[in-house]
Amino acid sequence: MKRWIGYLSPLIMLFTFVNFGLNPSGAESSQLPESLSVTEAEYAHLPALSPDTYQYGLRPPFLGKGYIGFREALAFKESGGDYFTTNTLGYLGKYQFGLTTLQLMGIHNPAQFLGSPELQEKVFDINLSRNKWILRRDIPRFVGRRINGIEVTESGILAAAHLAGAGNVKKYLRSGGQLDVTDAYGTSISHYLRAFRGYDTSPVSPVKNPRIEAFPVAASGEE
């Protein structure tokens, strides 16, 4: 009899724990405690250019590897996702566009651009289409290769073109990574190729010289 009790005791204990785990006393017990909820941006150690080194900064939101994830990750890098910011060099908005690029897109009113999130999203989309057109021969030629130890992907190329211009990305790719342009803050083409590799940018169609033909001016009394 004692032998059977010795065999059954572990089974009884296991059944008891499982039963309590699967049948919480109240619905709230299955919810995430408020103390663990994330309510603001979180600081974290993020991989830098080398897998053996790290930089300290804000962790961006992760929205997957689709086009939306690419767009928002790039915006987070550029401005923290702030539509209404201007940096020390005069670059504007969520995606930090310069005045020259805006003029190419048909935008000649920086204040209107900065005050319109909808317009900023449209300009971002058509600028990607423009860069994809300029790089239409280089993308299939270099995607899948490794340059300076970095796997080249279409999303990495388009992100780098947003940073440094499509012409400079061409030079980087065709020089085997020798001509690695950096911006005024020290961010390089190779950094963007690495940071934004592997997203799905197939929804972006290459378009030659796309422009914002017309966009309603916000009700501010401006002509």
Q: Rounded to 5 degrees, what are φ and ψ at 39?
A: -115, -5
Angle at 107 between CA 114 and CA 210, to 5 degrees: 125
CA angle 86/74/195 to nearest 5° reads 130
Instruction: Look at residues 161, 158, 164, 166 and name the one whose alpha carbon lies nearest to residue 200.
Output: 158
pLDDT in tens, 2-14: 454 454 455 455 4
pLDDT score recorded for residue 200: 96
Each residue's pLDDT tens digit, 37-66: 444 444 443 444 444 444 444 555 667 899
Q: d(Cα 213, Cα 20) in Å, to the nearest integer?
A: 64
The pLDDT value given to residue 33: 46
For the chain, residues with pLDDT lower than 70 are 1-62, 214-223
β-pairing, 54-58 with 43-47? antiparallel
pLDDT score of 62: 65
CA 137, distance to chain mean position in Å, is 24
- What is the structure's pLDDT at 4? 47
Q: Is 19 helix (H, G, I), strand (E, B) or coil?
A: helix
Alpha carbons 90 and 222: distance in angstroms, whole number: 22
Q: What is the pTM of this model?
A: 0.70
- What whole-number distance in Å separates Cα of residue 190 and Cα of residue 214? 36
- Report whether 197 contacts 155 (CB < 8 A): yes
The closest of 60, 117, 112, 67 to 94, measured between CA atoms, is 117
What kind and span of H or E run contains 56?
A: strand 54-58
Residue 121 makes CB contacts below 8 A (sequence gap 6+) with none
**Neighbouring-strand partners of residue 58:** 43
Give the C-alpha separation, 44 to 59, whole Å.
Answer: 6
